[in-house]
Amino acid sequence: MEEREDEVGYGKPPRATRFQKGKSGNPSGRPRRNPGIAELFRKVSKQVVQANAPNGQRRRMTKLEASVTQLMNKATAGDLKAMKVLLQMASRFPELVKDPEPPMQLIIVEEPMGEGWM
């Protein structure tokens, strides 16, 4: 049986509709996946914002740092909900409470007073 070039059928689309040489069959490429909640949280928490420092200066910090600072300030001011959240964070992540530097020790040396002190 002789094959013709313009034959159309199963696995043989018309020549005009076949993939063109040098052109991709998927020009847009694979669609990007939606970021998960953890990836989205990391991305947003790393964004930099400007906040007012206690001395009146503007200070640049990440959103996560600003949120933790605000939470700590509210807990210090007596906000019970902020205290509860802070204590939950401290119990869940004990490394947050541990101080990486050992506490400073103050040594007081008493020298004996002489006769002429008073």
Rounded to an integer, what distance in angstroms lies between the CA atom of residue 37 and that of residue 33?
Answer: 12
Rounded to an integer, what distance in angstroms lies between the CA atom of residue 65 and that of residue 70?
Answer: 9
Pick the residue with more confidence: 118 or 58?
58
Q: Is residue 27 part of a domain?
A: no
pLDDT of 69-81, one tens digit each? 999 999 999 999 9
Q: Is residue 55 part of a domain?
A: yes
What's the structural domain count of the chain? 1
Q: Which positions ≥6 away from 74 have C-beta within 8 Å?
A: 82
What pTM value is reported for the model? 0.54
Q: Is residue 47 part of a domain?
A: yes
Which residues are paired to 62 by β-bridges? 48
Q: Is residue 11 part of a domain?
A: no
Q: Is residue 73 part of a domain?
A: yes
Q: Is residue 116 part of a domain?
A: no
Q: Is residue 19 part of a domain?
A: no
- Reported as a pLDDT band with limits 50, 70 and 90, residue 11 is confident
User: The tokens 């101080």 sit on which residue?
Assistant: 99
